[in-house]
A and B are shown apart, each in its own frame.
Chain A
Amino acid sequence: MLSMKQKEDTRSTGNGTLIFTWIALLLLTGLTVWIAGVNTDRHGVAVNIIIASVKAGLVLFVFMRLKYESLFFRLILLLIVITLTAIMALTFLDVLYR
């Protein structure tokens, strides 16, 4: 049987980059737990959501190789993030000022 292969991606992320990202993710988790321990008001939660987003970004760009992907993939992701943010923002405007 003949085999035809299109556009195979052979690029490989260096193990050093992967290890560095892994350690960064572990440290950020430690930071999150520490912040939740010392900061008991609502600001602590907001800061932890920001840290979670940084962690998600690291996973997306390094582990999920988004840094290698075409602009098209990144634009769809951006569209999803904008959609979710808009729905969140509009819902909160409704809940808070009803």
Chain B
Amino acid sequence: MKTFHIKRAAAIVLRQYYLMRGSPARVLPLFVWVAVDIVLWGFITKYLNSIASPGFNFAYTLLGAVLLWDFFGRVMLGVTTAFLEDVWSRNFINIFATPLSISEYVFGLVLTSVSTSLIGLAVMMALAMIVFGLSFFVYGLMLVPFLLVLFLFGIALGIFASAVVLRLGPASEWLIWPVPALLSPFVGVFYPLSTLPSWMRIISHLLPPSYVFTGMRTIVLGGKFSGITLLWGGCLAALYIVLAGGFFVRVYRYAARTGLLARYSAEGVS
């Protein structure tokens, strides 16, 4: 019978902690780029507030949207970056020729992403509140499920992206970095989905963040947003985690069967 050992997953987190502790180059990106984004969009919203008709605060739609989207990006990249550390250091045989199971390994990557993305989220929230006066009370309790849906989808996409790198080789990491930017037009981070042509809207409905940003705008504009709609987004995100996990296991088995895993460190696999 296969048993899940949390200690083994914790070892993966510990390795990432050691890497970060000794490397400012790894720690700074956890919050610097998202902080820059918040500062940039904070000033844009200030400017828009100064020229727009009084009574509407752009911070709740634009700055809040940037914050949520950057959080999603950090979660996804938190998983893939932790995975890529093993690619870059050619560590696969050391990792996979041990009792560590695939689920323990992937769970370790997810735990790493939880901790790194929470750091980014805390910095973004502090900046947005203190410097630009963004009050999260305007979103009410819905902020929690908003973050949860984005977190789940970020995890799913991170696992999927890691599997793609495992399958296609180290050079394919360049396909992974722009994924959040590629998705952003479809999920309506800054505009309602009705702005999009119908073929794009079909894709939007398959992407959980679309439900979050629609909900966020509806609440800010004083409308009523159904929790059931968001629940659908959450279920979709949970389904994607299961599918991404299955895809990772499938790719791992392919890599073990074809010898890709054993010779992954060789340049030839890229």
Asked if A and B bind, the verdict is no
